[in-house]
Structure formats: C-alpha cells, structure tokens
Amino acid sequence: MSKPPQDRFIGGKQSYESIDRKIGRVVLDQKSHPPIWLITFAMAFLLVQVLGGAVLWLLYKGVGIWGINQPAGWGFDIINFVWWIGIGHAGTLISAVLLLMRQQWRNSINRFAEAMTIFAVMCAGMYPLLHTGRPWVAYWLMPIGPNTLGMWPQFRSPLVWDVFAVSTYMTVSALFWFVGLIPDFATLRDRAKNKIVQVVFGMLAMGWRGSVRHWLRYETAYLILAGLSTPLVLSVHSIVSFDFAVSIVPGWHTTIFPPYFVAGAIYAGFAMVLTLAIPMRAWYKLKDFITDKHIDWMAKVMLATGLIVFYGYILEVFFGWYSGNTYEIAMIKNRMTGPYAPFYWSLITCNGIVPQLLWIPKVRRCYPAIFVISQFVTIGMWLERFIIIPVSLHRDFLPSSWGMYIPSFWDIAMFVGTIGFFIMMMFLFVRFLPMINIFEMKELWQRQQQAEHADHADVGAGPVPAHDAAGAGHDKENAQ
Amino acid sequence: MISNSDMRLPALDKLIPIGFLLGIVGLGAWALGLQQDKLPALQGYFFAWVFWLCMTLGCFVLVLLAHTLRSTWGLAILRLIESGAKLIPVMLLLYLPILLMGMHDIYPWSNPAVVAADKVLQHKSVYLNTSFFLVRLILFFGCWWLMATVLNKLSQKQDATQDWDLAQKRTNIAAPGILFFAITVTFGITDWIMSTDPHWFSTIYAVWFVVGQGLAVASFTTFIITLNCTRKPYCDIVNPKLTRDLGNLMFMFTMLWAYTSLSQYLIIWYGNLPEENTFYLNHTNGGFSAMGAFVVIAQFFIPFVLLLSPKVKRVPAMLCKMAAWIFVIRIIDVYWVVMPTFCTHGPRFLWTDAAAFVGVGGLWLALFAWNLKGKAVLPTFDTRLMEADHA
C-alpha cells in the first residue's frame, strides 16, 4: 500500500497568527514597503500621464492620429485590446476553473491574478471604446430601443457580441474578486490599529463576523460565481476570435481560432502572473506562500498552453497549404517572407522555441530564467496579434489595394500608457489590499497540518482515517 | 493488503464469447453483403472502423492524460482505458479491407484518373498520395502502439513493485506523448477521415474528433463502472465523490464537444465560402439535417441539463443511464459526420452498415474484455481511491 508523496503549498513554520501577520502586514504596516515600490509606482504614474495626453489628443483630433489606414483599418488599437484581454484570462482560470477542479495550489495566487484580470480588462476596454471615434455615444452599442434611439445594434456582428462578452466578464470578475475579499477585509479590520483604517475596512467587510451562516452563504455565493466565471474563460476570448474568424480575410478565417485564442490568452496570462509574482514574493518576503511549487506549476501550465498555441501555428501553415486556395497560400508566404517576416520569425522564436526550455526541471527552478521566458511570451503574444491583425489586412485579394501598416507616435504612446496604468493599479492594489487570500491560506495550512499529522500517525498502517477531510470545513470558524 | 483476485471483474468475461460471436456473425454477414454490392458495404465498414478507431484512440489519449495529471478519476478508469489502448494494432489490421479493396472508393484522391482532372488535388498530391499515406499510417500506429505498450508495462510494474518513481517515469513519457499525439492525430484524422472529401478542410476538425473520442470513452468507462457498482472491486471505490468526478468528466467533454462543434459551424456558416460550406450542405441533405439537429439536442442539451444536477452525478444508476445515452448518441454522431460524404441524399438504412458496425464492435469489445481477463481492473499501487471511500 502506498500513497503519492504530498505536495506542500505553504512553506516554513506557520500558525494562524503568523499567516494573518505576514500577509496583513503589507497592507497595515505602510512602512514595510521597499523603496522599489515608490520608484516603480512613480514611473508608472508618469506613463499614466502619457496615456492621458494620448487620449485627450485623440478625442480632440480623432482616430486619424493613429497609424491605421486603408487597407489596415485595425492596428494597435485592436492588437492591444486582444493582448490585454488575453492577459486577464489567467486570473479567471486560476480563480474559477482551478477552484472547480479543487486544485489547492490556486489559493495563494488567485487574489493577485484576479486583480490582474480586472486591471487588464480595464486597459483592454479603452481601446475599442476609443476606436469607435466617438466614445461619448458608446451607449449606441446597447439595445436601448428602436423607439428612443431610432436604431438597433447589428446582433449578427461579433463586435456587438464583444460588448456583451467583455462587459459581463468585467462585472463577474469584479464581483468574484470583491466577494472573495470580504472575509479578509474583516481580518484587516480586526487587526488594524488606526481608526480610519478600521472604519474603511469595516465598511468593506459589510458586517462580516465569521458566523457559520456567513460562511455558508459565502461558500455558496463563491461557488456560483466560480460556475459563472468558468464559461467566461472560454467564451470571452472565443468571441474575440470570432471578430476575425467569421470574416473571410485569409489569415483570419480559420476554424481553429476559438480554442487557439483561448489557449493563447491563458498563455499570456500566466506569463504576466509569473512576471508579477516572481519579484513581488521576493520584495514582500512571501516565499512561504507563493512557493517554489507554485512557480513550477505555473511554468508547466504556461508550457502546456504555449504548446497548444504552437500547434495552432503549425495548423495554420499546414492547412494554408492544404486548402489549395491561392489567397491562403499567398497569406502564408507573405507572413514568412513578406515585409513583416522578421516579426513572424520573432513570434515563432518567442512563443514557440524559447518556452521549450521549460521542459527542463532545472530551468523551472531558476527564477531569473522563468522571468525572462515570461517576457518572451508576453512579447510573443503581442507579436501574434500583430501578425494576425495588420499583417493579414495589409495585403488582401487585390494587389492594387495593398499597403503597409506603421504605428504612429500616438499609437505607441497609448500602448505604453496602458502598461503604466496597469502597473500603477497593480502597485496600488498590493499596497492597499491583501494580495494573498488570508483565510484560504489558513484553511490550506490547517489541511496540510492534518495531512502531515495523519501521515506520522499511521506509517504503514493502511488507509488513512479520514477525520481530517471532514473537519477542515468546520474549523474555519476558529480560524477567524 | 489487497489481493489481486479482489480486483478482478469476472462479469466482464461474459463479453468475450458474446463479442466474438457478434464479431464473426456481423463480419460474416457483411462479407456476404460485400459480394452483392461492394460500394455501400465498404462505406458502411468505413463508418464502423472510424467509430471503433475513435474508441481506441480515445482510450489512448485518456491514458496519456491520466498519467500526466495523476488524478483520482484517472485511477478509477486506468485499467479499462489501458485495455482499450492495447487495441491500436488491431485497428490497423481492421483497416486492411479498406486499404486493399476500397482505397479508390473511399479516398478519391488515390485514384490517378480523378487527380488528373482536378487542379486542387494535383496541388495536394505532394501530401495526399498513396505511398506517403501508408508511410504515415504505419508510422503513427507504430509510435502509438509503442507508447501505449511502454506505459502499460510501467503501470503494471508499479502494481508489482510499488515503486513511486515509476509514476514519474510515466508522466515523463505521457506529457511529451500528448504533444506527439496531438500532432500525429491531427494528420491522421486529416488523412483517414477528412480526406474522404479531399477538397474540404477545417483546422478544428481533428480537435473536434479527439474531443468526441474523449466523450465516447468517458461514457463507456463510466457505464462499466456504474453498471458494476455493486460488484467487487468497484463497490469499494464507487462513492459520491467518484461518481461526481466521472459525471464532471463527461460534462466537460460534452461542453467541449459543443464548443468545438459550434466554433466550426459558426465560422463556416458565417464565411459561407463555396470551398468550405460544402461540408454543411452535404451534412444537411435530406434526413441528415434532422439527424444533425437531433445530435445537437441529444448530445448537448440533454446531457448538459442532466449532468448539471448533483443528483444524477450522485446516484450510480442514474449516471449509468446517462453514460449509456451519451454512448449511443456518439454512434449516431459519428454516423452523421462520416456518412454524408458518401450518401448525398440523406441517411440510409442498410443492413450491411449495421452488420459491419456490430462485427467490428463485437470484436473490439471481446478483445477489450480479453485484455482484462483474470487481471485487476483497478491499479493497486495508488490507494487514493480506497481512501476516498472512507472520507
């Protein structure tokens, strides 16, 4: 008789109190922040000013300040929209899908990743909104009524589906995040020494006292929200992929697009989680909670989704040829040897070749290496959208209407600006909200304790008596 | 210590004589039909082969997944899917009638006269030609067989030695194995199934098929486990947690099937390009449109609603019925996918189709049970299944 070796997701010697203290400290003790926080925040804040300038100028002059043209009517705006939305996906996958799959390793990274989702969706949402040219009439996208507006959205257009998919995604993600925060707000309220902090967290905690009834309602609500979020992981990026796939542009119109986009989104999202988690856990000494095991598993998920994406690239090339269609073959040739060929080959390098290093366990234990690979993936996923969007558009069916796409200064300013916005929001989040789920860590710690205890008690004595599994839920009360 | 004899499922042995009998009678009847009218008999056989190939490959892909993820549902069905994956070479043998008698009938691109009159097929002939086709066939089946055999040996060995390093060893083979399988099966399905209509193509087609294979095998194994839930050894492991996992596995494949089906349909329907929409035009000819609609309702909406309910996933008898339902609908679905290329006027009801299906299926089931005869149907190296029972 044997059991698989247990995985430990909390390191060091912990107690309920030490978990509260170590995670809560980051918020409650504002002096604990390293100087790097201020430096990064200041730089990000500067970039937000660039974003503000770019948006103001855009509103004043119109979308003509961007590099989009005929035939490339979609450029940085849509590339960055898809890129940001994709980055958000890891958050939903970690918090909802892994919860339903009962994967305990999600517990220390979910809060963090959910915050990332919300800020990434905010960045993403700006682009199509501003691309309409008249964001002040965005309500025209809603089916407000033919009698009041004199018009009706074209519901056969995936662009309209996008509006609903993304706004639902934003709403559900924000709700999920907030509901998950409530018990932790209560912990912070109880631990805070400052009166104002107590009042603020007290209001956010919405009267949480940790009674059995509270926990029961909480667990139900959380599970329902997870169930709602799970299809969103698939649907949002599938609908984004329909924006392209339902058209008949070579390079856009291929049936693998929905799953290939979803895998790409999760790929980019995990790269971003790793990009943020690796420095954060070092700066805030949270290596006991975001353990080496977590980094290892995230790297594995990144590798797996990266392989799906690479599979998509192979299919595109093979079926481009197999179709026997002149335009499809020309599109593949143009990608590989046309004016944007260096971008295509950089894409293959960044997304297809470099991440293969993650097969090696040693690389998955070397954090600088994972950090660098994550950057490659982030850049690669951006290049993928670049290859799909303007490179497919700039040479279509008629050679007489071919053109080139070159982003303008304002395109780049706005892109850099949203990166600044994202970093600024993440840094504010880390400073003012608990970045790791405190009560889930306590629950996980208790389970780990009991499992270890049981292991010591019954060495070689057959199946483990299961008092532990049943007890775990009830002891949450005490944990508060 | 659990002895090996407790882990056997003698009820499965009954399948061996019944299966062989059905196999001989079915294939014998089919051979008679072949004498009378060659073309429809070959087409019917092709459908039967595709369905049972999907079962075999579905078993194999779930073996790879189970060894990579090492979850408890994987343990419960491991010995069953390993037994199915062992049939990879049998499926290659069963392909011989098509290769020997029906290449030109099933695969128009293999006929030089057809290719000479068709520019697109000339372009494709670098890839779609009989010799390269055979090389790929033997290469893919050979590699899969080798991988399946090595993995089976390693997991049997762990039962004997209780050595935990073997689990890691299997993961080390299975994880890159999934990658290898994904790429080879894409080309395989393109060759064997998609190229029956050599002009048409769809990039999601192989994914769609593999998801269907997963669904068929998930329902097949769930059916076996829940049907025998009162017998040893399954009575020790069947509990609400396991049935929920198995139910969720079917639910996940149901969702993925719907997702891939919808993606392919929507994108082709919306684009409405003449080189692509032929597939759905064929597949909605005559009675096929009603059949397709029935599959959508029966294989998505009904299981979706029922499998959402916790009760269906808790009561083994209900889950058993659900699994049987899904499995039967899978047969209709594969028929709907494969046959419209051949019979353009709607579904046909030919006794040779049924005879071929029963014959190939009977053989498959008999050999499936044969592989498990006198052997444990659960791995004993991992006790997580038995522990879950007490929890």
- pLDDT for A90 equals 81
| A166 vs B181: CA distance, rounded Å | 34
- pLDDT attached to residue A89: 85
What residues 298-317 of chain A have any CB closer than 8 A to a CB of chain B?
A: 307, 311, 314-316
C-alpha–C-alpha distance, residues A417 and A108, integer Å: 29
Rounded CA separation B317/B330 (Å): 20
What are B204's two structure tokens? 């999601």
**What is residue A461's predicted lDDT score, i.e. its pLDDT?**
41
**A1-10, A413-422, A431-440: least confident range:** A1-10
Instruction: Report how far residue A30's alpha carbon sits from residue A18's, in angstroms, rounded to the nearest whole number.
Output: 18
Q: Could you tell me how many residues make up chain B?
A: 391
Query: In this predicted structure, what is the pLDDT of residue A460?
Result: 43
> Which residues 6+ apart lie within 8 Å of B194 measured at CB?
B200, B201, B202, B205, B206
- Which residues of chain A lie closer than 8 angstroms to B199, CB-CB? 324
Interface contact flag, A255 B204, Cβ < 8 Å: yes
Instruction: Give the separation between CA B88 and CA B63, rounded to whole angstroms.
Output: 13
Taking residues A17-25, report their average pLDDT. Answer: 80
So what's the pLDDT on residue A470?
A: 36
* Closest alpha carbon within chain B to A249: B271
B383 contact A CB<8A = yes
Cα(B74)–Cα(A436) distance, integer angstroms:
31
Measure the CA–CA gap between B10 and B13, rounded to whole angstroms: 5
Tell me the DSSP string of B274-328. HHHHHHHHHTTSTTHHHHHHHHHIIIIIHHHHHHHSHHHHH-HHHHHHHHHHHHH
What chain A holds in terms of domains, given with CATH numbers, is: 35-145+153-184+214-438 (1.20.1630.10)
Determine the Cα–Cα distance for residues A135 and B356; give it in Å rounded to an integer. Answer: 63
A157 close contact with B: CB closer than 8 A: no
What pLDDT band is residue B2 in, cutting at 50, 70 and 90?
low
The interaxial angle of helices B130-161 and B72-85, nearest 10 deg, is: 130
- Model pLDDT, residue A91: 82
Contact B203 A470 (CB under 8 A): no
B263/A238 Cβ within 8 A: yes
Residue of A417 and A89 predicted with greater confidence: A417
CB within 8 Å: A258 and B263: yes
- Whether the CB of A359 is below 8 Å from some CB of chain B: the reply is yes
Instruction: Work out the pLDDT band at A457, boundaries 50, 70, 90.
Output: low
- Averaged pLDDT score across all residues of chain B: 91
What percent of the residues of chain A are helix, what percent strand, and what percent coil, each to the nearest 5? 75, 0, 25
Which residues of chain B make contact with A322, given a CB cutoff of 8 A? 124, 127, 190, 201
**Side chain identity, residue A164:** F
**Single-letter amino acid, residue B14:** K
Mean pLDDT lowest among A130-144, A159-173, A443-457: A443-457
Domain range summary for chain B, segments of one domain joined by +: 10-389
Q: Is a pLDDT exceeding 50 seen at residue B159?
A: yes
Q: Can you tell me the mean pLDDT for A94-118?
A: 82
> What pLDDT digit, counting tens, does each position of B13-49 carry?
899 999 999 999 999 999 999 999 999 999 999 999 9
pLDDT value, residue A456: 63
What is the pTM assigned to this prediction?
0.90
pLDDT at A466 over 50: no
- Residues B139-143, mean pLDDT to the nearest whole number: 96
Look at residue A464 and tell me whether its pLDDT is greater than 50.
no
**Contact of A437 with A105, CB cutoff 8 Å:** no
User: pLDDT tens across A291-313, in order?
Assistant: 888 889 889 989 999 999 999 99
pLDDT above 70 as % of chain B: 97
More confident residue, A450 or B84: B84
CA distance A325 to chain B (A): 8
The identity of residue B368, as a single letter, is F
Chain A residues closer than 8 Å to B204 by CB: 255-256, 258-259
- Closest residue in chain B to residue A329, using alpha carbons only: B123
Half-sphere exposure of A185 (CA within 13 A, CB side): 17
Residue type, A117: T
Cis peptide, bond prior to residue A71, ω within 30 of zero? yes
Q: Check pLDDT > 70 for residue A465.
A: no
- Taking residues B360-367, report their average pLDDT: 96
The residues in B 177-216 lying below 8 A from A, measured between CB atoms, are: 179, 182-183, 186, 190, 199, 201-205, 207
Mean pLDDT of A336-364: 94
Of A93-107, B109-123, B308-322, where does mean pLDDT reach its minimum? A93-107
Q: Does A258 reach chain B within 8 Å, measured CB to CB? A: yes
**What local confidence, expressed as pLDDT, does residue A11 receive?**
75
Nearest Cα to A111, choosing from A252, A235, A286, A241?
A286
Which range has the worst mean pLDDT, A14-28, A62-76, A412-426?
A14-28
Is residue B328 less than 8 Å (CB to CB) from chain A?
A: no
DSSP A322-364: HT--HHHHHHHHHHHHSTTHHHHHHHIIIIIIGGGGGGSHHHH
Picking from A257, A300, A323 by the largest number of B CB atoms within 10 A of its own CB, the best residue to mutate is: A323
User: To which residue do tokens 């201020």 refer?
Assistant: A38
User: Which structure tokens are listed for B154?
Assistant: 């390693």
Quick: pLDDT tens for A198-246. 999 999 999 899 899 999 999 999 888 888 888 888 889 999 999 999 9
Digit-coded pLDDT (tens) for A68-92: 998 999 999 999 999 999 998 888 8
Whether omega for the bond prior to residue A434 falls within 30 degrees of 0, making it cis, is no
- From chain A, the residues in CB contact with B183 under 8 A are 311, 314
What is the model's pLDDT at position A313?
92
Return all residues near B41 (Cβ < 8 A) that are at least 6 apart.
B30, B33, B34, B352, B356
pLDDT tens readout for residues A150-176? 888 888 888 889 999 999 999 999 998
The predicted structure's pLDDT at residue A469: 38
pLDDT of B379: 85
CA distances from A82 to A372, A387, A419, B183, B213 (A): 22, 12, 14, 27, 32
How is residue B4 written in tokens? Answer: 């090996």
Q: Which residue has the tokens 């209709």?
A: B332
pLDDT band of residue B387 (cuts 50, 70, 90) is low
| B298 has pLDDT over 80 | yes
Q: Is B274 on the interface with A (CB under 8 A)?
A: no
The residue type at A132:
T
pLDDT at B3 over 70: no
* pLDDT of res. A479: 39
Determine the average pLDDT of the residues in B306-321. Answer: 92
Are the C-beta atoms of B338 and B296 separated by less than 8 Å? no
Residue B347, preceding peptide bond in cis (omega within 30° of 0): no
Cβ–Cβ under 8 Å, residues B358 and B26: yes
Q: Residue A350 above 80 pLDDT? A: yes
pLDDT digits (tens, 9 = 90+) for B207-218: 999 999 999 999
Q: List, as one string, the DSSP characters of A173-238.
A: HHHHHHHHHHHHHHHHHHH--SHHHHHHHHHHTTT----HHHHHHHHHHHHHHHHHHHHHHHHHHH
**A339 phi and psi angles, rounded to 5 deg:** -60, -25
B-chain residue closest to A247, CA distance: B271
Q: Distance between the two ends of chain B, CA-based, in angstroms?
A: 19
Q: Give ∠ CA B251-B253-B254 in degrees, rounded to 5.
A: 60
Q: Which residue of A has its CA nearest to B121?
A: A324
Stretch B377-385: mean pLDDT, rounded?
78
- Across residues A116-141, what is the average pLDDT? 91
Please report residues of A whose CB lies closer than 8 A to that of B167.
4
